[in-house]
Amino acid sequence: METKVEKIDENSLRTAAHLIRIGELVAFPTETVYGLGANAFDEAAVKKIYETKGRPSNNPLIAHVHAQYDISSLIDRDPPYAAALRRAFLPGPLTMVYPSTKKVAPSVSAGLNTLAIRVPSHAGTQAFLRAVNLPIVAPSANLSKHVSPTSAEHVFADFAGKISLILDGGASEGGIESTVLDVTGEVPLILREGLITREMIASVAGKCEKYFLKDGEQAKSPGMMYKHYAPRCETLLFDSLPEALAAYHAKEEAGKRVWLLTGGKWLEQLPPIRLLSLGAYPKDMAANLYKQLRAGEIMADCIVALVPAERGGIMAGVLDRLTRACRS
């Protein structure tokens, strides 16, 4: 199968909408990461996502809709605080998990009674979702366990020959996946951290909890169970600069092509070194993380990652992704 990469315009949107309607997959940009999309009502198409990605069948998918789409037939209960959160943060990088009416194809929710819904803010995504006018389920457009994609080139690297169309909307500005928030209870519960932070949600909803998996319990969000986002080379993770530098030099002496990945204030203290820079500020670190992990796996035998010292706000999401990528 030939894989076309096309800029978003009237022609490519028409092709994309046609492919979705006949049950094919289309990759598309969002403000967080690229997604691999299918019609949420088409069970065979949804199954194709799991097969094409190599995704475990118990890990549910997010349904993406355009800003005017009426989600009331898809969700069973909608607490007042959820409406306030939608007004405050959507369209944007916040996914909300509702009790499901089960109108979408069964594989979407992978056996759960809930449905995750997201309204992306990227203008190209909105245009695509309006052209289709259906909920589009989409995981990140990477092979399962590989680093998430923030450009059409990243998607092409994983899926060339496996899907027919990648819509190219440029580099994803946000760079890490949406915040996933369970709104089925009295208090909103963060299942996955992202660019909409716990503080931001609490400022609108009054409260916001973070979900932690307890021993022996079934995960509320199965995606949390998996090693994720991993580059295809050795990765080592350190909190201290001297330890990271010692590991870097040891690898170098062993004849390995080693690169150091870090960001924030550490950048001011580094000796000359092969550096995968995440940039100075939290927003840059989110935007550059996956790009630099993907660049690193091509150039390096080993990535030595030095955990940025910055904390708070979106750093929770950045550090979550970095530690998962480098967890052995």
Tokens at residue 67, please? Answer: 């800003």
Tokens at residue 156, please? Answer: 């092409």
- Give the three-state DSSP class for 213: coil
Q: Which stretch binds ligand TXA (CB under 6 A): 56-64, 73-81, 202-210, 253-261?
A: 56-64
For residue 223, state whether it binds ligand TXA (rule: CB under 6 A). Answer: yes
Q: Which stretch binds Mg ion (CB under 5 A): 124-132, 134-142, 202-210, 271-279?
A: 134-142
Out of 30, 109, 114, 140, the residue judged to bind Mg ion by CB under 5 A: 140
**CA 45/CA 48 separation, integer angstroms:** 5
Would you tell me the crossing angle of helices 282-299 and 315-326 to the nearest 10 degrees? 20
Binding partner of 317, given Mg ion, ligand TXA, none, CB within 5-8 angstroms per partner class: none
Tokens at residue 239, please? Answer: 């909190």
For residue 32, state whether it binds ligand TXA (rule: CB under 6 A). Answer: yes
**Interacting residues with ligand TXA between 65 and 104 (CB under 6 A):** 95, 97
What single-letter DSSP state applies at residue 300? Answer: -
For residue 114, state whether it binds ligand TXA (rule: CB under 6 A). Answer: yes
Decide whether 224 or 267 has the Cβ nearer to Mg ion.
224
Quickly list H helices, 116-151: 123-132
For residue 126, state whether it binds ligand TXA (rule: CB under 6 A). Answer: no
Beta-sheet pairing, 136-137 with 35-39: antiparallel
CB-based contact 93:143 (threshold 8 Å): no
- Binding residues (CB under 5 A) for Mg ion: these are 140
- Binding residues (CB under 6 A) for ligand TXA: these are 30, 32-33, 35, 59-62, 95, 97, 109, 112, 114-116, 118, 138-140, 177-178, 180, 191-192, 220-223
